[in-house]
């Protein structure tokens, strides 16, 4: 019996991939360069993502979602990233972090209220990092002080993806600094709450159209009904959702590498030097062969982790492997492909230049490559 490859898709999954690819080609590709230059999403992009059902993929159909799988989320992220990684990360954070956290840790009332909003038009954001809290994710300075039946949240968050568009924010703050990570609690903060502001958007090297913002909380009163999970157990929400989120980032890097590869593959079959298409030169063909190997290996690791997640099996080590390898491969493939364009690859008119800038963040956010290696090593023993 021939064993199916991990990259084999069901009929439903193939149809979904085809639909998202067509959307990305028809709607996003014409806007990608402009959004990158301006550093912001086209006003209609988020609306289109909701209309296509890509912002509530695992949300139950009864709450307005697609009722699909985590793996389907990864396919969506991959196909969007193949054209524009900035749009892919909007979809990624919504599904693999925010919705995943509410589905797993929200009570029935929260799930009904929040998942309906998230699937129906409200963008979500995940606010964990601070100036002094990056890889050391639980060194939080953001405080939440109990005030009767409510909490008052005070502090700042940095590098919050979707911060410019989000209506709902999962905010991690400590209710007891002396308790260390056991004081961390996850709060749902809604845009418009008194004392909450988004004062600044970062000017970034890559994924420029995706908003990355600073958030400020000046005594924001959050009702106890907006505590996600258990008070003092926010570290559990953070760890478990980030483990899944890393598979989403791996999917983003796979799509990015695929997009860079396809562009270079087409170019080398058109460009002539010394009387030959440059695709005829062995050095060029070998570079593309290595790129194809990198992409296939990254995709296999990513799909394996996503399938394990859907099967309810342990996937932490596999997620770390997928993120580490896919982000490393994406940067390498994007760089190799840019060089195949020659001088034009170094200009803004060439899509390869954008893919290389967009690739760099893969080794940094949702756990740096160093953190992934540490996680993998720890789980070997």
Q: Which residues are catalytic?
A: 366
CA–centroid distance for 286 within its chain: 31
Alpha-helix residue ranges (DSSP H) falling in the chain: 11-23, 29-38, 45-51, 70-83, 85-92, 100-105, 108-110, 116-120, 234-268, 282-310, 316-340, 351-359, 369-378
Residue 160: strand, helix, or coil: strand
Residue found under tokens 């756990």? 367
- What b-and-e string marks burial along 12-45, b requiring 16 or more CB atoms within 10 Å of the CB? eeeebbeebbebbeebbeebbeebbeebbbbeeb
Question: Which residues are CB-contacts of 175 (< 8 A; sequence separation ≥ 6)?
Answer: 143, 144, 145, 146, 151, 183, 184, 185, 231, 232
204: left (phi over 0), alpha (psi -120 to 50) or beta: beta
Assess contact for 295 and 258: CB atoms under 8 A. yes
Residue 271: strand, helix, or coil: coil
Residue found under tokens 């106890």? 224
Give DSSP secondary structure letters for 2-60.
PPPPTT---HHHHHHHHHHHHHIIIIIHHHHHHHHHHTS--TTHHHHHHHTTTTSTTS-
Assess contact for 354 and 83: CB atoms under 8 A. no
Q: How far is CA 372 from CA 238, 300, 318, 367, in A?
A: 16, 17, 10, 7
| End-to-end C-alpha distance for the chain, whole angstroms | 34
* Alpha-carbon gap, residue 177 to 139, rounded angstroms: 9
């Amino acid at each position: 019996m021939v064993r199916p490859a991990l990259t084999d898709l069901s009929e439903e999954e193939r149809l979904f991939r085809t639909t998202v690819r067509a959307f990305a080609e028809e709607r996003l590709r014409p806007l990608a360069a402009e959004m990158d230059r301006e550093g912001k999403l086209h006003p209609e992009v988020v609306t289109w993502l909701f209309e296509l059902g890509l912002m509530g993929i695992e949300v139950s159909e009864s709450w307005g979602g697609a009722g699909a799988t985590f793996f389907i989320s990864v396919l969506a992220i991959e196909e969007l990233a193949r054209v524009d990684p900035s749009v892919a990360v909007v979809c990624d954070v919504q599904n693999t972090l925010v919705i995943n956290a509410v589905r797993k840790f929200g009570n029935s009332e929260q799930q009904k209220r929040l998942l309906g909003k998230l699937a129906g038009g409200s963008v979500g954001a995940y606010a964990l990092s601070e100036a002094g809290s990056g890889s050391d994710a639980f060194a939080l300075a953001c405080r939440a002080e109990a005030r009767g039946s409510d909490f008052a949240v005070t502090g700042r968050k940095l590098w919050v993806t979707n911060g410019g568009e989000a209506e709902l924010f999962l905010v991690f703050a400590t209710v007891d600094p002396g308790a260390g990570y056991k004081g961390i609690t996850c709060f749902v903060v809604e845009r418009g709450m008194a004392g909450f502001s988004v004062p600044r958007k970062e000017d970034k090297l890559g994924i420029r159209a995706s908003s990355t913002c600073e958030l400020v909380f000046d005594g924001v009163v959050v009702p106890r009904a907006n505590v996600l999970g258990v008070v003092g157990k926010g570290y559990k929400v953070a760890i478990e959702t980030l483990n899944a989120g890393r598979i989403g980032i791996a999917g983003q890097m796979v799509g990015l590498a695929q997009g860079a590869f396809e562009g270079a593959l087409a170019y080398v079959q058109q460009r002539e030097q010394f009387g030959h298409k440059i695709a005829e030169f062995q050095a060029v063909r070998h570079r593309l062969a290595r790129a194809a190997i990198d992409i296939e290996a990254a995709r296999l690791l990513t799909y394996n982790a996503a399938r394990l997640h859907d099967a309810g099996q342990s996937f932490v080590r596999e997620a770390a492997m997928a993120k580490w390898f896919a982000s490393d491969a994406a940067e390498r493939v994007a760089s190799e492909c840019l060089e195949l364009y020659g001088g034009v690859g170094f200009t803004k008119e060439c899509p390869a230049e954008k893919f290389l800038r967009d690739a760099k963040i893969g080794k940094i956010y949702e756990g740096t490559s160093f953190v992934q290696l540490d996680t993998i090593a720890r789980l070997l023993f």
